[in-house]
Amino acid sequence: MDGEAQHSREREEGHDEPMAAILDAIAVGYMVTKGTRIIDINRNLCRTLGFSRDELLELEMPWPFTPPQSLELSRAITERLSRDALDSDAAPSDPIEVPLMRKDGSRFVGELTIAPARDADGAILGWVSTIRDVSRRHDYEVELERLATHDPLTGLANRRLFEERLDQEMAGAIRHSRSLAVAILDLDHFKSVNDRFGHPAGDDALRESSARLERILRKGDLLARVGGEEFAWILPDAHSHGAWAAVERARHAISDTSFEAAGDLTISIGVALRGDLQDGAQLYEHADESLYRAKREGRDRSIMWRSL
């Protein structure tokens, strides 16, 4: 039996054929439920989910297109939208994104709307839902959000995210009387890398430097690229010995092994501890001062900030 004949057979008595044709022409997935039972579904939603109409009609929740780990979330979302829709004077609920699963087990993000179908007296006959696969849009929005807070070359946090996180960590350190360290790291003589080997080699060296530094981070640390060849590092709960050991590991991660595209590189590091400081920007400034001392004193070294 071909697809059209099968679909005609599936439209059993009790369904209005012109209305069925209209529903199948709708560009989004469409489903009607009564309570938690599916009583109608259009061809587009079947295609999106990978199930036939026969496989979905009359099913009660949990439906097979809801991932097991998302059952409670999907149920709560559906119940909330249903409650909102009960108020006949309320504006339609905004679409909401839910995790869904195709018959083959692949996952996607669905945009769900739900509204009551009422008879002439206003009594609810069932619930009309639309489901649209918005995975591409969702992925695009996630990527835009990531680019707003991360450096596109290295994938590290950018200055904006670093400053937000530093404010958060400083507030937490003050509130709970915890230690906090910030380190500023700058690749030495990096301009000569671009001049000698070209900017593509310089970009490769930056990416490799970022990867080497990320490998020595502790859980909870944040490393950001805050300038051309400059990095900033937040080390929560780091005391003087721990912070010093960490930045020395970072220095050796750069200097101990040659770079394929750029040869031997070194890095200078300034690090500062919170002590009794109350301001994240001031902590950053102290680390920056220490970095410039490291540069002045010969580079390829770490210097801890000390008040004069």
| pLDDT on residue 247 | 97
Q: What are phi and psi of 244, to 5 degrees?
A: -65, -45
Burial of 154 (0-12, 13-18, 19+ CB in 10 A): buried
- Structure tokens given for 15: 């369904």
- Give the residue among 119, 118, 136, 138 at the shortest CA–CA distance from 128: 118
Contact (CB, 8 A) for 24 and 42: yes
Q: Per residue in 100-151, pLDDT tens?
A: 999 999 999 889 888 888 888 877 788 888 898 888 887 787 777 877 899 9
Residue 277: the pLDDT is 92
For residues 33-61, give the mean pLDDT.
91
Portion of the chain with pLDDT greater than 90, in percent? 60
What is the sign, positive or negative, of the torsion defined by CA atoms of 113, 118, 124, 125? negative
For residue 71, pLDDT over 50 is answered with: yes
**Count of CB atoms situated within 10 Å of the CB of 80:** 13
pLDDT (0 to 100) of residue 154: 96
Confidence grade of residue 19 (pLDDT, cut at 50, 70, 90)? low
This model's pTM is above 0.75: no
Domains, in order of start, for the chain: 3-140 (3.30.450.20), 150-304 (3.30.70.270)
Using CA of residue 162, residue 165, residue 171, residue 172, what is the dihedral sign? Answer: negative
What's the rounded Cα separation, in Å, for the pair 148 and 255? Answer: 31
The CA angle 24-28-29, to the nearest 5 degrees, is: 75
- Report whether pLDDT(84) > 50: yes
pLDDT for position 119? 80
Tokens 């709708």 -> residue: 26
Length of the chain: 308
- Least Cα distance to 292 among 267, 266, 269, 265 occurs for 269
Question: Span 65-90, mean pLDDT?
Answer: 71
At residue 136, the pLDDT reads: 85
**Among this protein's residues, is 163 annotated catalytic?**
no
* pLDDT at 223 > cutoff 60: yes
Per-residue pLDDT reduced to its tens digit, 148-203: 899 999 999 999 999 999 999 999 999 999 999 999 999 999 999 999 999 999 99
Paired tokens of 255: 């200097």
pLDDT confidence bin for 290, thresholds 50/70/90: very high
Give the range among 25-29, 181-185, 260-264, 280-284 with minimum mean pLDDT.
25-29
**Model confidence pLDDT, tens digit, residues 251-262:** 999 999 999 989
Asked whether the beta carbons of 202 and 262 are under 8 A apart, the reply is yes
Cα–Cα distance for residue pair 167/274, rounded to 1 Å:
12
Catalytic residue among 111, 169, 208, 229: 229
Confidence of residue 49 (pLDDT cuts 50, 70, 90): very high
CA distance 134 to 129: 15
Residue 75 pLDDT > 80, yes or no?
Answer: no
**pLDDT tops 70 at residue 231:** yes
Residue 11 scores a pLDDT above 60: no
- What token pair was written down for 45? 């939603």
